[in-house]
Structure 1
């Protein structure tokens, strides 16, 4: 009888695990409470409705309005009208759909892209305490609420992706310069557009706003360019050490500070010193 062994187990893809307390213990608690309001962290804000994330915003990312306008879905006048007509009621999204300016599916897709983009930065490491303001509804209104666990899982997935591309996060926030040491001959058109905006002063956030692209997508391109040797963070010029105090002469008294080093001297004292020096010179 021939013994047939069991086939080897197939590799199982390890999912991104969320820490026990979540990326933000306060956010996890608010989700359990089904709270409504805005969570303010160092990297931006998360807007909650009944414990789910309905919008996210961060200074590091273009907002939903910027993305829609940059891609020609809306113009600035359409957006201003929507804010004026439906902003106070918190129904800007519904107004845009009902007025025919955008279809529901396109709005949901753009909204989710902007939400996950900003949430990545809002849930980043922070050294400042978080605050929550209860009861504050967002002006966009309900579009596609997302569970907190889904937002945290996507944030961790994005962290893992960036780390796998290029493990140094310093390039995410620093002004970028061309490194001039490429290890590959060409770049993709998307990367070429990013590379064309690298000027020694712009950061990844600046470039994403200039291009009207989600900030995370820009980070992916920048880390790939860094891995290929095209860009690097600009190194700040070293701060010169302060000049040492003059050493006293051998056997003498320490040097007296000059008037230039003491701009706030009493004018009467200064005059007396000048008279003394003049008398000694006679």
Structure 2
């Protein structure tokens, strides 16, 4: 399945600039994706500061000193605030997270602005085909977990039924913020986590009957084998970090 024919065409042309879509923007240099942003996904600064890897004032300083030059990433490494490996892993995590939402199906035509660059500067370019594959993989994963995409954008709330399933620690943190007002994107931002990983947790919780969208019919409780799988489900961060590690090693 082709996620974005325009992205692949720009890659074949080795284009440089910004691909603007309804739910985000992808930045390309010589046809490779060098950054992505989406209002749905917490930015790299949120991921870095929430994880305690960078102080908020350190990020503000980097923007002030190097933003206009398009070298914020390089500044963070050169001033010792981050190691090169830390920056690359967090940047790739933020890139794939935002790209997933930016490449969501849309009825609005995409636009490309040639020559536009992002202030983060060069970190680790990713082939457009790799972004396409990962986006398609993530879509398929969500559908397998719980084929009700309305849970991705609507506020979610804890169900009142007695829990039959013990949620994993990271899922309990999501449950605590499922107040019927916050959407999964709001929860991700509050926790300082990638938005896609929060969607995984929300869909798993919905499949288990632990959360629902306000006003929706409560889903049926899963059978015991599904409940067992819920409790034993792997942390999505681990799988992603392994893929990021493999991607970095392949380019060295």
Q: TM-score range by the shorter chain?
A: 0.7 to 0.9
Q: Are residues 1:55 and 2:35 paired?
A: yes
Higher relative contact order (CA 8 A, sep 6+): 2
Aligned length: 216
Matches of 2:207 and 2:94, distance apart in 1: 26
**Residue in 1 that maps onto 2:64:** 84
Matches of 1:220 and 1:181, distance apart in 2: 21
Matches of 2:100 and 2:212, distance apart in 1: 22
Q: Are residues 1:204 and 2:204 paired?
A: no
Asked whether the equivalents of residues 179 and 230 of structure 1 are also in contact (C-alpha less than 8 Å), the reply is yes
Return the index of the structure with the highest Cα Rg: 1
Cα drift, residue 137 of structure 1: 1.1
Matches of 1:86 and 1:221, distance apart in 2: 36
* Correspondent of 2:87 among 86, 107, 124: 107
Matches of 1:39 and 1:26, distance apart in 2: 9
**Residue in 2 that maps onto 1:158:** 138
TM-score, scaled to structure 1: 0.75
Asked whether the equivalents of residues 45 and 59 of structure 2 are also in contact (C-alpha less than 8 Å), the reply is yes
Q: Are residues 1:23 and 2:11 paired?
A: no
**Which aligned pairs between 1:177-256 and structure 2 lie closer than 5 A?**
177-181=157-161, 184-235=164-215
Matches of 1:36 and 1:182, distance apart in 2: 54
Cα drift, residue 88 of structure 1: 1.1
Cα drift, residue 75 of structure 1: 1.1
Paired residue secondary structure (1:115) = helix
Higher helix share: 2
Cα drift, residue 180 of structure 1: 2.7
Matches of 1:83 and 1:35, distance apart in 2: 26
Q: Are residues 1:125 and 2:105 paired?
A: yes
Paired residue secondary structure (1:196) = helix
Gapped runs of 5+ residues in structure 1?
1-18, 237-282
* Correspondent of 1:139 among 108, 113, 119: 119
Asked whether the equivalents of residues 180 and 229 of structure 1 are also in contact (C-alpha less than 8 Å), the reply is no
Matches of 1:39 and 1:184, distance apart in 2: 45
Runs of 4+ in 1 over 6 A off after TM superposition: none
TM-score, scaled to structure 2: 0.83
Query: 1:205-239 deviations in whole A, cap 9, x for unaligned?
Result: 00000000000110111001001001111238xxx
Cα drift, residue 182 of structure 1: 5.9
Matches of 1:59 and 1:111, distance apart in 2: 16
Gapped runs of 5+ residues in structure 2?
217-252
